[in-house]
Structure 1
C-alpha cells in the first residue's frame, strides 16, 4: 500500500527585532508606562476641555467623572498592552470573575483591617470618641477605594509583578513589586522610611502573593479598596498618611511603633504582624500547588533536559 506524501507545515516567520524587544518583559513594562503617559496627556486635555477644577482637590470634591478621567489612562494602557502586545485575552480582569472575585477581595480586606483595629483597641491604642453622622462617603470611596484599588493594583500587580515574574521568577517579582509599592508611598504626608518599609512588607508582599494564587486582579482590587475604605471613611484612621474624617471619630494613643503615628495604622507593628500571617497563608498555598516560578532561564534548562 502506497503512502501519500504529506505537505510539511511551513515554519512561522520570526518576529522582527523591534517586535521581539517590545514583547520582552522590559519592553512591555516600558511600553505600558509610555502608553499610560500619552493617554494621561489626552485625558488631561479632555479634563480641561470640560472645565473641571484644576487645583488640588480634597477627597470630598472628587466626582465619578473626575475619578474616571484619572483612571482611564491606566485601564486603557493595560488593555492595549494585553490585547495588542501580548495578544491574549485579559483573563485576570475577565467580566465573569468581576462580582465574585470583587466580593471575595472586599470581604478579605475589610476583615483583615478590622482585625488590625480590633487588636489596637484591645491594646488600648485605638479609642473611639464619638460617631460622625454627616460623613461624606462618595469622594473618599472614589479616591481611596476605586482609584487606589484599580490604579495601583494594575500597575503594581498587573504590570510589574506579573511581567517580572515571567522573566525573573516569583521571588524576584515579589521583592521588586513590593519595593516599588512601598517606595511610591514614601512621598505621602507624614511618611517615613519605616512606613514605606511597612507598606512594602505588609501590602506589597501580601497583594503580590494574593495575585499569584488567584491570578485575578479583581481580588486584589477589592482587598485594596476595602482596606482603605475601612481604614479611613469607617474607622477614621489616616490612610497612608492622609488624615480622614470617618464614621467613627477616633484617635490613637501610645508609642508610634504600636499606633503607626501620624502615618496611620499601616505603620503599626500590629498591621505588619497580621498581614504577615495572611502573606504566609498565601505562600503556603503557592508552595503546596508548586506554582512558584523559577527564573525563565532556569525553566528553559529544565525543559531542555
Structure 2
C-alpha cells in the first residue's frame, strides 16, 4: 500500500509549507495555476503567428490546440513533480512507454471495437461505406494525442493521485470519476445521462488502471486509442464531437442503445463493457491489497503500532 503513495511531506517542512505548498489541496491549486499560466502564454503566441485565426488550415488549428494542451499540462506537471514534490517522474518514465503505452493503445482499440461489435450485433451500428481520403491527422492530434496526454495528466496524474494520498483510494476514485464525467457536460449533445456514462465507463476505468499500473502511459494509451478508434476508424462522434472516420457509419435504435447524438460512449453497451474491465482491475487491486487508506487512518495505525505494550 505504501508504494502507491508517490509523495510524502518532508519531515523538515515548516507548518506553513505543509499547508501552502505540500498539502493535497495546495498542490492541486499550484498545478492549476501553472497550467493556466503556461496555456495562456502559448495561446497568445500562437494567436500572434496566425494559427488561431479562422483562415488557418485544419492542421494548424489542430497543432495549435495540441501545443496549448500539451505545454500547459506537461510543463505544469513537470514543475509540480520535479520542483515541488522533488521526485522523479516515474509515472511518465520513457522506459515504461513501450510496455504500458503500447499495451494501453491495444487495450483501447480492443475495448472500443468490442463496443462497436456488440452494437453491430444488436443492429444499431451500420457501415455505409469507406472514406479512404478522410483527413485523419487533425483528429488524431487533438482527440487522440492531446486529449490522451492532457486529460490523463490532469485527472489521473494530479486529481486522482493527489486525492488518493489524502483521502484514500475509494474517495479518489469517486472524486476523479465524477470530475471527469462532469467535465464532459459542456460537450455538444451532452446530457446528464452521457456525463454519468462517462463517469462510470471511463472515469472509474482509467483511475483503476492508473492505480494498478502506476503508469500514466497506460491511461494515455488507452484514452488515445479509445478516441481514435471511435472517431477516426469507426466514424462515431467522440464525446459529442462530430467525427469523420475511415468508415462512414450510422447508428439507429433508442438512445440508450446507440448513444444518440453524443456517440456510443452514452450507450449501455459501452457502460457494460467498460464496467466488466473495471471489475477485473478492481479484483487485481483488492487481491494485491493496494488500496490506500485515508491519511488519518494511516496515522492512527502508525500511532497504534508505535505504542509500547506493557
TM-score by length of 1: 0.93
- Alignment of 1:167 onto 2:201: no
Query: Where does residue 18 of structure 2 map in the other structure?
Result: 20
Whole-Å Cα distance in 2 between the matches of residues 272 and 259 of structure 1?
12
Whole-Å Cα distance in 1 between the matches of residues 59 and 264 of structure 2?
22
- Alignment of 1:109 onto 2:136: no
Deviations, residues 201-225 of structure 1 (Å, cap 9, x unaligned): 0000000000000000000000000
Whole-Å Cα distance in 1 between the matches of residues 15 and 294 of structure 2?
23
- Secondary structure, in 3 states, of the residue corresponding to 1:187? coil
Unaligned runs of 5+ in 1: 1-11
Query: Where does residue 223 of structure 2 map in the other structure?
Result: 224
Larger radius of gyration between Structure 1 and Structure 2: 1
Residue 13 of structure 1 and its aligned partner are, at CA, apart by 7.6
Query: Where does residue 232 of structure 2 map in the other structure?
Result: 233
- Secondary structure, in 3 states, of the residue corresponding to 1:280? helix
Whole-Å Cα distance in 1 between the matches of residues 62 and 261 of structure 2?
27
Query: Where does residue 77 of structure 2 map in the other structure?
Result: 78
Whole-Å Cα distance in 2 between the matches of residues 100 and 304 of structure 1?
40
Structure 1 residues 13, 238: closer, same or farther in 2, change over 3 A? closer
Query: Where does residue 294 of structure 1 map in the other structure?
Result: 293
Q: Please, which moves more after superposition, 52-61 or 235-244?
A: 52-61
Structure 1 residues 58, 106: closer, same or farther in 2, change over 3 A? farther
Residue 142 of structure 1 and its aligned partner are, at CA, apart by 0.2
Kindly indicate whether the alpha-carbon contact (under 8 Å) linking 1:231 and 1:237 is maintained by their aligned counterparts in 2. yes
Whole-Å Cα distance in 2 between the matches of residues 195 and 148 of structure 1?
18
After TM superposition, the structure 1 = structure 2 runs for residues 131-150 of structure 1, keeping only pairs within 5 Å, are: 131-150=130-149
Whole-Å Cα distance in 2 between the matches of residues 260 and 56 of structure 1?
34
- Secondary structure, in 3 states, of the residue corresponding to 1:76? helix
Residue 66 of structure 1 and its aligned partner are, at CA, apart by 4.9
Structure 1 residues 172, 66: closer, same or farther in 2, change over 3 A? closer
Query: Where does residue 308 of structure 2 map in the other structure?
Result: none
Aligned length: 294
Kindly indicate whether the alpha-carbon contact (under 8 Å) linking 2:144 and 2:223 is maintained by their aligned counterparts in 1. yes
Structure 1 residues 161, 45: closer, same or farther in 2, change over 3 A? same
Residue 280 of structure 1 and its aligned partner are, at CA, apart by 0.2
TM-score by length of 2: 0.91
Whole-Å Cα distance in 2 between the matches of residues 66 and 26 of structure 1?
28
- Secondary structure, in 3 states, of the residue corresponding to 1:23? coil
Whole-Å Cα distance in 2 between the matches of residues 84 and 119 of structure 1?
47
Residue 60 of structure 1 and its aligned partner are, at CA, apart by 5.4
Query: Where does residue 278 of structure 1 map in the other structure?
Result: 277
After TM superposition, the structure 1 = structure 2 runs for residues 191-210 of structure 1, keeping only pairs within 5 Å, are: 191-210=190-209
Kindly indicate whether the alpha-carbon contact (under 8 Å) linking 1:60 and 1:140 is maintained by their aligned counterparts in 2. no
Whole-Å Cα distance in 2 between the matches of residues 237 and 177 of structure 1?
26
After TM superposition, the structure 1 = structure 2 runs for residues 262-277 of structure 1, keeping only pairs within 5 Å, are: 262-277=261-276
Residue 240 of structure 1 and its aligned partner are, at CA, apart by 0.2
Q: Please, which moves more after superposition, 154-163 or 91-100?
A: 91-100
Query: Where does residue 244 of structure 1 map in the other structure?
Result: 243
Residue 61 of structure 1 and its aligned partner are, at CA, apart by 5.1
Unaligned runs of 5+ in 2: 1-9, 305-310
Whole-Å Cα distance in 2 between the matches of residues 58 and 203 of structure 1?
32
